[in-house]
Structures are given as C-alpha cells and as structure tokens.
Amino acid sequence: MKLIVGLGNIGKNYINTRHNIGFELLDSFLGDINWKKKSYGLYYKDKDIIYLKPTTFMNLSGIAINHFIKFYKINIKDILIIHDDLDINIGSFKIKYNSSSGGHNGIKSIIDALKTKEFMRIKIGISNDKEIDTKDYVLGQFTKKEKELINEIKNNIYDVIIDFKENKSVNYLMNKYNNKTK
C-alpha cells in the first residue's frame, strides 16, 4: 500500500493559493473523482494507492498522515508528500528524501508525528516575495504568470507520481527528475 499526499488547507478561502499546490496537483492528476471523507482527511483509494488531502489544515498535516498510515498499515518509505516550497523558483520542483522541514510547518508536523524524515517529497517551487509577509504570500493567490509556470511542470510531476506508484527507487527518481528543474 502506498500513500500519496497533497498538502494544503481546506476551505474556499484557500483555493488557488500558493500553499495549496499539493491539493491542486492531486486534483488535476486524478481528474474527476469522488473524494471520500475519513477522520482527518479526504481520500481516494485506487487499488493499492491511497491519495490524501488532509483536512487538519497545513500546520497539523502530520496528524492526518499518521492516522492513515496506522489505519492502512503503510510503510513510511511508501509515502510521497507533495507541497509548496518558498526556496525553489516557481516553475521548478525538487524531489527530496530524508531531509529537514526547511521551515515548512506542514512538513515539520509530519516529521514530528512520524518521528522520522525518511519519506519522499516533491517540493513545488512557489518562489518568495520578500516584500510580502510570508504568511500573506503563501496564502495569496497565484498570478496568471505563476499559474502558467506551474502548468509547464505538471506533466513532469505526474510522471514522478506514476514512477513512484511503479516502485521506482528514490535514487532513480531524484536522478531522473531533479535535473529537469530550473
């Protein structure tokens, strides 16, 4: 069993915000599906893959993920987290494994709940506007140009998800995709 998680915040106020890129990418990857509600999350199960959008809000994402891995008995090495990253240019992404939160509170929550950093992540670049308070920036809407840049990398991210589902190794994925970023 594998768990693929898109991070974000639940609610209409957060749709199309930079912080919700994980939700958006899962939604666009899966297309028109019916999400089911379970404690702490919206999920979709497809054979041996569970897709999850935590409903705990970003900073408590670890609660939802911990609940799902315990309930479905998922090995932590079979988890893929998709989230925003301020330190990566918009239109770029990076695959990471066993790395720190980098100041991302959602990832910090996951590391604290799982008591490990040994899971794979796709960090989606959202850049950083130092003239805007970080909270306001990540909760702000994408501009038209930013959406275009995200759309340019979506197919590569979908390919990462497909390769992850097909049990490609972390090293294989990092070698194959990390050189495709700007």
Which residues participate in catalysis according to the annotation? 19
Per the document, the length of the chain is: 182
Chain center to CA of 130: 23
- 177 is written with which tokens? 């995709």
Please name the amino acid found at residue 105.
Answer: N
Residue type, 71: F
Provide the 8-state DSSP code for 35. Answer: P
End-to-end CA distance of the chain: 32
What is the per-residue burial (b if ≥16 Cβ within 10 Å, else e) of 89-121?
Answer: ebbbbbbbeeeeeeebbbbbbbbebbeebebbb
| Alpha-carbon dihedral sign for residues 52, 58, 60, 62 | positive
Give the burial string for 70-82 (b: 16+ CB within 10 Å, else e). Answer: eeeebebebbbbb
